Structures are given as structure tokens and as C-alpha cells.
Amino acid sequence: MKIKLFILVLLFNGLLIASDWSFLDVSRIGAGQFIEKNPQNNGKDVVIIILDTGVDMGVPGLQKLPDGEVKVIDAQDFSGEGDVYFDKAEFGEENNEKFVSAPGNLKLYHYDKLTLQPVDSIFYIGVLHEDKFKNSVIPDINNNGKEDDDFGFIVFKSKEGWVAYIDLDGDGNLDDEQPVWNYKIKHQAIQFRGRDKKLNKNLATFAINIFPDEKRINFHYDGSSHGTHVAGIAAGYQLNGQKGLNGIAPGAKIISLKIGDCTLAGGATTTGSMLEAYEYGIEFAKKYDGPVVFNMSFGIGSEIEGQASMEFTLDEMLLENEKVLFCVSAGNEGPGISSVGLPAAANYVLSVGALNSKESARDVYGANIDQDKVFVFSSRGGELNKPDILTPGSASSTVPPFSTRENKWGTSMASPQATGAVALLMSAAYHDGLPLIGALFKKAIINSARPLKGYTILDQGAGVVFVPDAYQYYKKYIQRNEHKDFVYYRIETLSPMNEDNPARAAYWRLGNYLPDKHHKQAFKIKPEFRDSWNADQRNNFYRAFDLVADKSWIKLNKKSTYIKGEKPATVDVYFDQKQLDEPGLYTGKITAYRKEWSNKKMNKEFELWCTYVHPLFANEQNHYTLKSDLIKIKPGNVHRVFFDVPVRATSATIHLFTEGNKYANIRAYVFDPQGREIEQFSRLSSEYETQETIQLTGSQLEYGIYELDLYADFRSEEASYCTYLISFSGLEVSPNPINWLRMKNGENPRGTLSVFNYFDQPVLCQISGEISGWSKKTHVEDESEIYQQDFTVGSEVEKVEFQIELPADVFNLMTDFAINIKNYEGKILKADGLTYRKKKIVFIPPASGDYYLELIPAFASRDAQYWTATIDENYYLFSKANIIGSREYFYPKTRKQTSFYVDGTLPVPPSGFRLFGNVNLNSLDRYRFKVIVPVELDAELR
């Protein structure tokens, strides 16, 4: 009977509801089916709080709820982007026309003709200069062809409260304008306008908030389209005016909390903006008599997994506010493992990875994949038991009118799917009179998720969300009173990869070593009690679990365990090395079920994740060369290769080859031992690039296990084939760096090198190089909100490269770190930001002249904003001085001296700078490698 009903529902859905709209897929997670069955549980009475770049409440799809009421009920800006300050106005009169004015030239006429007047005769006046938007994508906010309009406004306290009149058409008159209130009072969406009505199109929507105590008004808007897109996925209703084209929870209301400044790259957060937005949202949730869920499609890379300041704060907030739940995008730093971002690594948030569903792949991208895939970019777990789940990570959704990018992919698109799912569950629970517990919604979603075949837990967590099942689980949890006795679990275990910081999963990526019988790995499972529990409840807490490992190589010291009071349970494990002989990635988990119930997936309490990376080893037996057989990769799949960097290796070269006439459309990614991508774009194609080489040397090569990921584009029609060969060299060069040249009048500058070949193969190398230009290193210690460094580019300079590096523990305090290069008109010529603690930025100046570099750290909290960094600036000259060396054999285990000279004269660097360049040892044998030795010449050392 049940099976029949299920089929009927599916057919019914197919005919009538939004499941056909695969551009914004609401079927894959069962949201469409859920609403079809319970139309009142469509998110109604739930408020979704969106922390993003702002939400454009004027676009079709975000204007109203199914019952006709307004959808976006509040809009606040914590980024400071839309702040404008005002002052007390003066009064004047000209040709019998009254005006108020501000110091400077601004005059606003006809204040006396407004319907509302101040209770105390005091007007405040300010001006929004269009110039403020010069670094945004809409520098002409009223579309009149000019980018220097001024929009004056007045603010005063009327008998109905604080109100503003804004000269939206910039004509200096106020009597053609309407009174505007704080957005949440009357939900007024406003637009600036030119005076030619035909040009009043594609305008962004603004909302205001007045802060009289600070003499500040804020203009909230979405200048990037990211937040509007996210809002449409979570809760859009009749997108583009189309009946049936909805987001996941069309009945939910939205609050937009803007944390990203759209004039910074990627809409970066600013100091405190994320935290203040969460605090505002929590205050709202406390007062609101209904369910609240947060979405944050924001984040950066994790340097020390799960140990960032913002992550601790989010976990604390969830412990204190058990009604709510935060959904966070896992990050787009995949497909390497150990790449889940900050703050998605927070323990108690729901971290969401991105699914590429068959239907969306077909209808949005015209791709025919054989099954649902995890999107290649989706961040993966490692030291962390994250991501939690998957939801579709691509969509065509709402965007502001000025934007044409309605199609986007990213975990940013997946997170609002999960948020919408939570909203549906909360809406149903609320209408059914059930208690609302964020952690139990999370548990229901995770336990009912459906794993995707062919993927590890590090790729997908529990798998794909399925709302109808999640609701059955939630009801069951409430029925057995889990809302009264649930606890949070904090899992701690040692991770040697994480130095002295505890990890949340067993993660072994250290070559051959792994926990064995004699050196077991201890997991501690600590209960974290709800703030509302008293001492007795804490002391008397007792809970017992059955432990079940899903892989036979995971060996447990016990079959069950318990927690009593605050004392953690401990579980020791080791890995059976005999079963881990083949190189590759091994993942498995131990699931803990409540002892009093059956070992069904509904009763999962927590999981202990185990990972062992068995790399390929290069050594004398294989002549430090790793060679693959033919590899076949289906469209949308990733083939992972882990390789260990042998001791004494000074370069690693990855060669990729297509095979005969076989098809290939492959993108290669390389991740360092910490899971950070090495930025070297590499594509292998049977049509164009039939061979590719990736060189790792110098600072890009460290000891440890690298991950090479070969990804076949999901839009390909057929499988891709390739082979790889990875070769290492053991040429140790001294001095390193080269910091001295012999200078003699009438002779070329000369240098000498000593080379020792540690490996077992003779190599023939051509020595060459260049003096590229001049450079300077600056150590920054700063506390200001913006750090500025001026620089001058002469006509001899081709490009400037900045390398910015922060200590890991400093990076951990941040939510973003924006980087701008500006000219002295304040125009941003290059905008970027840190994903991890290091980044290289190349600036090609449009002309010689003066510029400045701006570093804008965004700290999680407003206290403790001290930071340090180093900045290397390298000026590359148009005319480089070539370094000429000889061709040399380097025999195994022997040292050899060789020399080189600079062809021509050395450039003269400005004072305070030194010359830089490099000497390369290019091997001439079949598998070319390159050892790069930096040259750094101080003026006095030449």
C-alpha cells in the first residue's frame, strides 16, 4: 500500500508542481513533494535570515508571500558599505523658495511643503554621492549616464517617528518625494531615478535605516547579486513572475542582513559584520514567536581546521539558542580533501556541500551525466567530520535587475537549499505544535539523508537531504522526548596534521604510519550540555551506545560505550594495515547508536570518521618516478592520486598525457599536504593540449603528501582518458638563495653554484635564468581597519607582484581579508582577497605613476584587531638581464661546482630595494624537471 501511494505522489507531482523547473531544482531534496502533501507547511511562519551581500526585495520572486504579504520583512547592513552621515541643516530662502542646506553647496528645496514636519523644527541633512558606488558594479545608480550625481536627503523626527525624505531624482526638490521609513516599518523598497523616465530601468532596490544617535542613515542594497540569488533559492515565490517557479520554502519570510561589502572582491565581510549580524538575528529570534533559520553562503579557507575564532563563536551561539539553526556553505575549495572552509568547520552548524543533480546538469548545462555527482569545487572533509550533507549546488535564481548572471553554481547555492529544507521542517513542526530544536532538525536531516553512491564521507557527509523522511524522523525524536534530553557531542582526537590542536576525525596522511595495535588512536566524546541544564541534570546524565564500524580495517577496542555526567566516553581504534596495502584514499566511520533503541539509521547519535591516505612513494626502486596505467574518468568524476614527496626532493614535475586517439577533457588540480590548492591552471584536452606539465619547486614544494586530482568535465559527452608521470629531482643547490655576484670592471657579473645530486640517476641540465627586477619585503604590524602602502611604478616596469602572507593564527581570527590596488582617484584597479593565509597578486599598471595597495582585514570580533603580515613586492622590468650558464651532468651522490654570468649590466634598483631573479636547472632528459633557485642581491653584496 505504501509503495503504491509513493508512486502516485510522484506522478501527481510531475504533473502539477514545480518539479519540472529543474533550473531551480526543488524535487531532488523532496521539497516539492513535501509541500504538495502539506501545502500549509511551505515555510509559512518561518523567518529565514540571510547573511550575505544584501537582498534586492524589488525583484519578482522576492516581493511577496503566497498569501500576498511582503516577503522581505527587514533589511540591515552590517558591512558599513551603505553608511552616510548627516548633520543639522541650516535654513535659507531664494526667490521666495525655502531650502535647507548643509555646509558645502547642497540645497534641498520645498521642505516646507512636505506633509510631515519635525516635532522640534530640527532638520538633519546629508548627501549620498554617487561617487560612493564607483567601485561597485553599478556606478550609475540612477541610470542617467552620469556617475557623479548627488542625492541629498533630510532626516527628522516627525510625530510618527524618524523619517527621511530623499531626493531620489537628484533635482534638489523634496516635494516630489515620498517619506521613507526604516525598512521594517513599512517595507518600502526605493530606487534612485534619472529625470528621463525611459532610462529608469535595471535599477537596484534600496532600503533605508536611520540611526539618529549616530547621525547615520544606511542604504541597504545588493550590489553583487549573490545575496539576492541565495534568497531566491531558499524562499523565492513565483520567480520571474512564473507560477510554479519557486524556491525551496516559498512561504517563508526573509530578513536580509548584509555582511559583505560589494565594493570589495567577492563582497568581503568587514570587521565584526558577521558577528553583529548573527547577534541581530539572534535578538530577533528571541522576540519572534515562531521558527527562525539562518543561511550564510560565506566563508574562506581553513588554515587550522575547526579552530577559527568565528567558529567558536557560532558554536557558542547555537548552544545558547537552541531553537535556531545555522546553515553554512562548506566552501568551494575542493576537490582536495581537508578543504572545508571557515566558518563551515564550526561543530554545530549544518555544513552544506554541493550536489550536481542529473536533472539540473541536463537542463541548465545541457550535460548528460550517468548519475548525480558531487560538484568538483565542493569542499571536502579530512581532519573534520564535515561536510554534513549535500544539496543541489547550481541554480537559476533571482538577481537584481542590473545583473544578468542568474545562473550560478557553488556551495553558496547549496546552503540555501538546506536552509529552505530546514524552513519546511520548522514550518511543519510549528503547525503541528511540536517543540522547535535546531539540533534535532540537524539530526533529522543528517540521519535521513541518502548517500550518493561512488563518493566517500569526506565528499558528501551523510549524503543528499530528503525532506519528507527528515520530517518523519523529527516527529519520532519529539515523540520519544528527545527535545527534553538531547545533548551536543564534541568529538576530539589527536591529529598529527593539526599540531597541538585536537581534530574531530582520525586523519592519517603521514606516509606509511598509521595507528596500530600498540599505538591506538583515542577518540574522546564529550557531552556538551544545554545552557538551561542545572547541576543535577548534568551529573545524572547517562547514555550508552553501540558502536559499529562500516569498514573491516577499522578495529575497535569495544563494542559499546557510555557517557556518565560530564565524563567523556573514550573509544580506541587502530587500522588493520594488511587491508590498506594498495595506494589510495581509505575512509570509514564508526557509528554510535543509542543502546536502548535498534541500530537503525534513525537512531544514529554520532559518528567517528577515519581516514587513511596511502600515497605512492618515489624511491630508488622506481628511480623517483611514478607512472600510471591508463586512467578512465567518467564525465563529472574526480580521479585522486596521492603522492609522497621523497626526502631531499627539490622539485616535482607532474606530466599529463592524453592517450592516442582517446578523448580527454580534463582539468588537473594539485593540493598541498594541508589541502590548499596550488594555483596552477592545467587543462588536458585531446583536441588542444595533449600534454601538460605542472612544476612544483621552491616554496611550492614541501615534504608531505600531495593530492593530484584529475577531473573530467561533467559537460563532456564521453569519458576522458589520460596517463600521468610524476618525477622528482634531488639536486640540492647552494647557496640558496643566491645572494652574491662577483663584480669586476669590464666583465660580466658572475656567480658560482655548488650542486649535489642526492638521487640515483645522472641528470643533464641546462643552467639559465634572469635578473627580473627589484623587490622589497615589508613586515606589517597593524591595528587599523585599513592598511595602506604606496608604491610607484616607472615606465621600465612591466608588472608588479605582491605576495601577502599572514601567520596561520592571525588568519584564524578573521572572516575575510580584502586586498585592493587603487589609483589616487580612489578607483579600484585590482580587487582580490585571501582564501588562505598566502596569496600572490599580479598588477599590470595601466600607466606609470603612483598607486597604493590596501589591505582590509575583517576580524570576527571587534576586540583584538592586532595583526601581522609580510608583503613582498616584486617589480618585473620589461628588459630583464639574462643569466647564462653551462650544460652540466650531475652524477648520483656527487657534488659539482659550476658558474654562470649575467649577460649585460645589472639594473639599478631604487634605494631600499634589492634585485631579484632566479637561476634554473632545466633537465634535458625525457621527463623534464626544473629546479628554481631564487636570486636576491642586496646593493652592498654585489
515: preceding bond cis by omega (within 30 degrees): no
Q: Which of 674, 697, 729, 775 binds Ca ion (CB under 5 A)?
A: 674
Task: Give min distance, CB of 327 to Ca ion, in A.
Answer: 22
Judging by DSSP bridges, how do beta strands 691-697 and 705-712 pair with one another?
A: unpaired
191 binds Ca ion, rule: CB under 5 A: no
Q: 342 or 664: whose CB is closer to Ca ion? A: 342
- Output the CA angle 311-317-319, nearest 5 degrees: 105
CB of 707 to Ca ion, least distance (A): 11
* Number of chain positions touching Ca ion (CB under 5 A): 13
Coil, helix or strand at residue 747: coil
Considering only the stretches 159-167, 723-731, 799-807, 816-824, report the one whose residues sit in contact with Ca ion under the rule CB under 5 A: 159-167
Shortest distance, CB of residue 205 to Ca ion, whole angstroms? Answer: 16
Task: Provide the minimum distance between the beta carbon of 175 and Ca ion in the complex, in angstroms, as a whole number.
Answer: 8
Distance of closest approach, residue 177 Cβ to Ca ion, in angstroms: 5
Q: Point out which span in 32-40, 170-178, 310-318, 600-608 binds Ca ion (CB under 5 A).
A: 170-178
CA–CA dist 713, 60 (Å, integer) = 34
Does position 385 interact with Ca ion (CB under 5 A)? The reply is no
Nearer to Ca ion, 62 or 813 (CB): 813
429 neighbors 321 (Cβ within 8 angstroms): no
Terminal-residue alpha carbon distance, the chain: 88
Least distance in angstroms from the C-beta of 222 to Ca ion: 18
**Position 171 contacts Ca ion (CB under 5 A):** yes
Q: How far apart are CB 674 and Ca ion at their closest, in Å?
A: 5
Q: In angstroms, give the least distance from the CB of 302 to Ca ion.
A: 6
Nearer to Ca ion, 221 or 593 (CB): 221
If one asks whether residue 149 binds Ca ion (CB under 5 A), the answer comes out as yes
Region from 175-183, 680-688, 780-788, 801-809 binding Ca ion, contact rule CB under 5 A: 175-183
Name which of 169 and 276 has its Cβ closer to Ca ion: 169
User: Residues 457-486: x/- map of binding to Ca ion (CB under 5 A)?
Assistant: ------------------------------
CB of 152 to Ca ion, least distance (A): 9
Q: Left, alpha or beta for 531 (phi > 0: left; psi -120 to 50: alpha)?
A: alpha
The x, y and z cell numbers of residue 316, run together, are: 557558542
Q: What cell does 274 get?
A: 558577521
- 813, 864 Cβ separation under 8 angstroms: yes
Stretch that binds Ca ion, among 164-172, 200-208, 470-478, 743-751 (CB under 5 A): 164-172
Q: Which stretch binds Ca ion (CB under 5 A): 176-184, 399-407, 507-515, 902-910?
A: 176-184
Q: Is 167 a binder of Ca ion (CB under 5 A)?
A: yes
From the CB of 433, what's the least distance to Ca ion, in Å?
44
Taking CB under 5 A as the rule, does residue 176 contact Ca ion?
yes
Residues 301-360 interacting with Ca ion (rule: CB under 5 A): 338
Contact 625, 618 (CB under 8 A): yes
Q: Which stretch binds Ca ion (CB under 5 A): 148-156, 200-208, 407-415, 418-426?
A: 148-156
Shortest approach of Ca ion to residue 39 CB, angstroms?
44
Q: Which is nearer to Ca ion, 222 or 707 (CB)?
A: 707
- 313 SS3 class: helix
Q: How far is the CB of 171 from Ca ion (least distance, A)?
A: 4
Burial class (CB in 10 A: 0-12, 13-18, 19+), 96: exposed
Interface with Ca ion in residues 87-146 (CB under 5 A): 140, 142, 144, 146
Interaction of residue 368 with Ca ion, rule CB under 5 A = no
Burial 831-846 (b: 16+ CB within 10 A, else e): bbbbbbbbbebebebe
Contact 328, 354 (CB under 8 A): no
Provide the minimum distance between the beta carbon of 46 and Ca ion in the complex, in angstroms, as a whole number.
34
Strand order in the sheet with 488-493: 488-493, 521-528, 569-575, 554-556
Nearest CB to Ca ion, comparing residues 176 and 702? 176
Using the rule CB under 5 A, give the single segment among 149-157, 218-226, 413-421, 469-477 that binds Ca ion: 149-157
Length of the chain in terms of residues written: 942
Cα gap 215→778, rounded to integer Å: 39
Nearer to Ca ion, 308 or 793 (CB): 308
The piece of 162-170, 650-658, 732-740, 895-903 that touches Ca ion (CB under 5 A) is: 162-170
Kindly tell me which residue out of 77, 169, 311, 315 binds Ca ion, with binding defined by CB under 5 A: 169
* Residues contacting residue 920 through CB under 8 Å, at least 6 positions apart: 767, 768, 769, 930, 931, 932, 933
| Stretch 675-694 residues interacting with Ca ion (CB under 5 A) | 675
338 and 305 in contact (C-beta within 8 Å)?
A: yes
Options 101-109, 168-176, 738-746, 894-902: segment touching Ca ion (CB under 5 A): 168-176
For the bound state, the minimum distance from the C-beta of residue 339 to Ca ion, rounded and expressed in Å, comes to 6
Stretch that binds Ca ion, among 172-180, 279-287, 507-515, 686-694 (CB under 5 A): 172-180
Residue 388 C-beta: closest distance to Ca ion, Å: 17
Identify which of residues 171 and 576 has a Cβ nearer to Ca ion in the complex.
Answer: 171
Alpha-carbon separation of residue 384 from 86, 179, 219, 461, 465 (angstroms): 48, 52, 39, 10, 20
As measured in angstroms, the least distance from the Cβ of 673 to Ca ion is: 9
573 in Cβ contact with 514 (< 8 Å): no
Tell me how many degrees the CA angle 675-677-679 measures, rounded to the nearest 5. 165
Beta strand 814-823 with 828-833 is antiparallel
Cα angle 625, 626, 627 (rounded to 5 degrees) comes to 115
- Whether omega for the bond prior to residue 583 falls within 30 degrees of 0, making it cis, is no
With binding defined as CB under 5 A, does residue 707 bind Ca ion? no
Cα(278)–Cα(817) distance, integer angstroms: 19
Residue closer to Ca ion, measured from CB, 169 or 459: 169
| Distance from C-alpha of 874 to C-alpha of 674, rounded to nearest angstrom | 27
173/761 with CB nearer Ca ion: 173
β-pair type (389-392, 394-396):
unpaired
Check residue 905 and report its DSSP letter. P
* 521-528/631-633 β-pairing: unpaired
- With both helix axes pointing from N to C terminus, report the angle between 309-320 and 273-287 in degrees, rounded to the nearest 10: 0
- Minimal distance in Å, beta carbon 337 to Ca ion? 8
Nearest to 445 by CA among 459, 415, 416, 425: 425
The Cα 72–Cα 227 span in angstroms is 12
Cβ closer to Ca ion: 18 or 203? Answer: 203
- Strands of 112-212 (E only): list them: 124-129, 150-158, 161-166, 179-180, 207-211
Smaller CB separation from Ca ion, 111 or 284:
111
Cβ 298 vs Cβ 52: under 8 Å: yes
Does 27 interact with Ca ion (rule: CB under 5 A)? Answer: no
Q: How many CA atoms does the CB half-sphere of 303 hold within 13 Å?
A: 19
Minimum CB separation of residue 145 from Ca ion in Å reads: 7
Interface with Ca ion by CB under 5 A: which range of 117-125, 328-336, 538-546, 672-680? 672-680
Query: Given the rule CB under 5 A, which residues bind Ca ion?
Result: 140, 142, 144, 146, 149, 167, 169, 171, 173, 176, 338, 674-675
